[in-house]
Amino acid sequence: MSRRGKREAEKVKSKIFSKIIIVAIFLGLVFFVLKIAPNYVNTEIADKTNLVINNTNVTDVLKNDVIIENGVIYISEDDIQNFFDPHIYYDEKYNQVITTSANQIASIIIGENAMTNNGNKESISGTVIERNNTRYIPFSSLKNVYNVEINYINSSDTITVDSLDEKYVTANSTEDNVIKSDPTYFSRVVDTLNSGEKVTIVQDDNNVNYQIGDWVEVRTDAGKLGYIKYEDLSNETVKREKIEENKQIEGKVSMVWDYFTEYAYPPDRSGTDIQGINVISPTFFTLVDEGQGKINQNVGEEGKKYIEWAHSNGYKVWPSLSNNSYIGTTSEIMHDYNLRQQLINNIISLVKEYNLDGINIDFEYMYEEDKDLFSRFIIELEPRLHELGAILSVDVTAPDGSPEWSLCYDRYTIGQVADYIVFMGYDQNGAYSEEEGTNAGYDWVEANIEKFLGQEEVDSDKLILGVPFYVRVWKEKDGATTNSAVNMNKLDEIVPDNAKKVWVDRLKQYYIEYEKDGTIYKLWSEDEESIKAKLSLIQKYNLAGASFWAKDRETPSIWSVISQSLGVE
């Protein structure tokens, strides 16, 4: 090739190389714009007070701006509901806001610089204020109610809120350093650190440091959140461990109601024990009709001995409080915050006086329109009991029934708030049923468990299945049908040897029919097989346990079935 030809070839190569360089630069710019440049975009909110809750900046999802006046931090009622108390409530009758936490209930009358907390009145800085038709809560005055630590950082106009129940870890920067917005060197600087400066290490859902590769998320003293290389931290210190709730009952709950009327003495069970249970619920308490929250108590010296007997056997005592189906009295209390508090204060006094481990609320026959107010009562009772370490269980009927017996319960809210919700799994065909049938068929019980867990959204580990120790005997004579409850331990006495007896598999019960003195008798039995079948649903659906109505109606052999089914000695 001639010299001129070589020069031309080199020019062509040079042009091709230049084009390659240009394309590479262009692709590099595209990569930078798409992948790296976004890491340098400033996403911080600079025109309003930032709110960081448990190491998450929630400012951009607040429904209303945070207000700071006269040193008091105000957060809107809507945002309190979203982040701290889903059940915060405005009580129109007394013009007050009521808020609850795990073990406290506080009320603030709008315009007053005072708060009633767990029954005790105290002065506070600020009060509930209204701006643009929005109520604002003096949040900084409620730190003890919500059990949080609150700090306002003037330099960054940021409020940090840390739950005192959550794990808290700090560390020091090993040298002068920068905090990056993302876990990469190619990202924006959100804050700088001096050597030895302390940071808070963000914890993940498993209470370990939140790490992405070699990077760990931290929060600076200015309230800024970002990432630093884990190797650039030292002196990691756990300042506070997560507070785990201690369960009163380990394993399955096995409770038996011990029924006696308000006019009878509590039974003397000294010298005996009950196999397979860990909770006992004597019917000590009933509402006083038209008593505005007063409680009739049937404890006395016999009851004190009963409690001593139970505790000596290792049983927890959760006495029942019944409303005695006083629908008017119940409604009056539910409609008035002060009456609800009077009832709650009376309950708390009884728990303290008798060293009780919990309370079982058995309110039946209520107005459907009082459903939400009954939930309010449960919401307001729970923290007061939790303050004492006592358990709250609430009895409810099957879903989808009559207004006064079934639709009067918000099972979802009760299940969210109470420690346990007890499905009274009986009276499928009750005293006033027009149709003959079983008292508690397996298929009906299972279908309703699925409703609790499905449509009612109750957590399985909060649902206790109520199991009957009785059946209904149906009598047909002269064209009329009546029924009566018969204890399962009496069936052998009333059913003749020649009675027709057929196993019904979908019910997991025997259907029994016989004739006596011109009357046809029909019943669906409860025995070891039927009880065992119902208890198998507790394992199948991972329920919290079972409760039995009621002591002394059972056959003695049933306790070993219960013990084996629930794993309770």
Instruction: Identify the three-state secondary structure at position 430.
Output: coil
Domain count, the chain: 3
Q: Whole-number mean pLDDT of the chain?
A: 94
- Residue 335 to residue 327: CA distance in whole angstroms: 12
Which of 175, 205, 240 finishes a domain?
A: 240
Order of strands across the sheet with 158-163?
A: 56-57, 50-53, 158-163, 148-153
Query: In the prediction, which pLDDT does 34 show?
Result: 52
Query: In the prediction, which pLDDT does 41 show?
Result: 44
What pTM did the predictor assign?
0.91
Which of 207, 240, 273 finishes a domain?
A: 240
- Residue 281 to residue 422: CA distance in whole angstroms: 13
Using pLDDT thresholds of 50, 70 and 90, give the confidence band for residue 254.
very high
350 belongs to a structural domain: yes
Using pLDDT thresholds of 50, 70 and 90, give the confidence band for residue 30.
very low
Q: Are residues 130 and 71 in the same domain?
A: yes
Which of 126, 150, 174 finishes a domain?
A: 150
CATH number at residue 56: 3.30.457.10
Per-residue model confidence as pLDDT tens digits over 49-98? 999 999 999 999 999 999 999 999 999 999 999 999 999 999 999 999 99
Q: Judging by DSSP bridges, how do beta strands 177-180 and 189-193 pair with one another?
A: antiparallel
- Residue 425 to residue 150: CA distance in whole angstroms: 46
Domain that holds residue 188: 166-240
372 belongs to a structural domain: yes
- Residue 103 to residue 116: CA distance in whole angstroms: 14
Amino acid at 200: T
Per-residue model confidence as pLDDT tens digits over 182-240? 999 999 999 999 999 999 999 999 999 999 999 999 999 999 999 999 999 999 999 99
Q: Are residues 405 and 453 in the same domain?
A: yes
Q: Are residues 64 and 121 in the same domain?
A: yes
CATH number at residue 373: 3.20.20.80
- Residue 416 to residue 392: CA distance in whole angstroms: 12
368 belongs to a structural domain: yes
- Residue 218 to residue 228: CA distance in whole angstroms: 7
- Residue 402 to residue 542: CA distance in whole angstroms: 28
Instruction: Evaluate whether 319 touches 284 at the Cβ level (below 8 Å).
Output: yes
Q: Are residues 146 and 170 in the same domain?
A: no
Q: Are residues 346 and 303 in the same domain?
A: yes
Instruction: Evaluate whether 216 touches 55 at the Cβ level (below 8 Å).
Output: no
519 belongs to a structural domain: no
Query: In the prediction, which pLDDT does 46 show?
Result: 77
What single-letter DSSP state applies at residue 266? P
Q: How far is CA 437 from CA 473, 500, 501, 507, in A?
A: 9, 16, 15, 10
